[in-house]
A = this chain, B = another copy of it.
Amino acid sequence: MSESRPGRPRAQRKVRPGASGREEILDAAAELFTTLGYAQTSTRAIAEAVGMRQSSLYHHFPTKDDILEALLADTVSGSLSFARHLAQGLPADDDGGPGPERAARLYALSLYDGTQLCSARWNLGVLYHLPEARSARFAAFLGLRRELREIYERLSPRREWPGSGDLVFRLVESLISLRADGLAREDSARETADAGLRLLGFGPEAERIRTLAAELPEPA
């Protein structure tokens, strides 16, 4: 790889997951941002953690903000693709459409999104609360997250009850805190998706909804 230091064998340098220099940078930055802090991490420290010259890092990401933007987008992009797919073909809002089918889509989204949040190598959602991440600089990420949130709301089978899908979105995102608290377990994402169904007022129907959800096409 062109960015490796001369004389430094690749086998030693390549300690991070990712097929490309770009992915190695993202992994190192994710670790440093979540464990040390965003403000406390310099691009120099990131380059050193990857074993890369700073000039090579700048080739991939001109600024530290560009790295943060890519990491933040990664936290929602997979779930958003799936959400867009699930939202396709839904009847118009006022119509509502059959409750259990809508609920199944919302359940599938909750489970997938929650699983992503729990299983990603670094708990990047903790960066959402950075003052930096709220600035206009990150409007693109904020727009993606807003779209994901809106699809939760559109998928809610409780059309008569505005904000019900948003409550499920909030419950799923609370997995970020659960993980930060060291309390996330193997089944936390599923438990949370199930709790989302109860939150929507489903009791015994939950079993049928889970069955319908399992029949939906898998995420791409």
| Stretch from A50-58, A98-106, A128-136 forming part of the interface with B | A128-136
Contacts of A39 in B (CB 8 A): 37-40
- Among A106-131, those with CB < 8 Å from B are 126-131
* Interface residue from B35, B167, B174 paired with A173 (Cβ < 8 Å): B174
Report B-chain residues with C-beta under 8 Å of the C-beta of A35.
131
> Can you tell how many copies of this chain the complex includes?
2
Let me know if B37 and A132 touch, CB within 8 A.
Answer: yes
Asked if A203 is at the interface (CB within 8 A of a chain B CB), the reply is yes
A199 touches B203 (CB 8 A): no
CB-CB under 8 A for A167 and B163, given A39-B40, A180-B129 = no
**Besides A37-B39, A37-B132, A198-B201, 9 new A-B residue pairs in contact (Cβ under 8 A), listed by A number:** A36-B131, A37-B130, A128-B177, A129-B176, A129-B177, A171-B171, A171-B199, A174-B174, A199-B199
Top 10 A-B residue pairs of the complex, sorted by shortest distance between their CB atoms: A39-B39, A170-B174, A126-B129, A129-B129, A37-B131, A167-B195, A174-B174, A199-B199, A198-B199, A39-B40
